[in-house]
Amino acid sequence: MAKWEAFQQCPGCGFDIFSGEGVRSCSWGDCPYLPEELDVFCPYCRFNFFTMEGNPPCEDEMTCEHGVEPRSHVANLRRFAVEHGASD
């Protein structure tokens, strides 16, 4: 089992790792414990490649060079969502 497959949020945390919204139980902007393999947000503009929401400055977010790695994590997050009873 990969490390990201066993990820669990902190008790009481309302941060939604799928949408990037919600009230966090800590003072961090993003979850500091979220495994990199589940991070689907563009590091440049914070576009969410899982929900396809955001305001990217690039013309095509699916070909943007900043999104190569986060796009590769979408399959992991989809699998994580299925295994944890979430949906996109």
CA distance 23 to 30: 11
- 58-81 tens-digit pLDDT: 999 999 999 999 999 999 999 999
pTM of the model: 0.84
Contact (Cβ atoms closer than 8 angstroms) between residue 54 and residue 45? yes
Q: Where are the domains of the chain?
A: 35-88
- 1-56 tens-digit pLDDT: 688 889 988 888 888 888 888 888 888 777 888 999 999 999 999 999 999 999 99
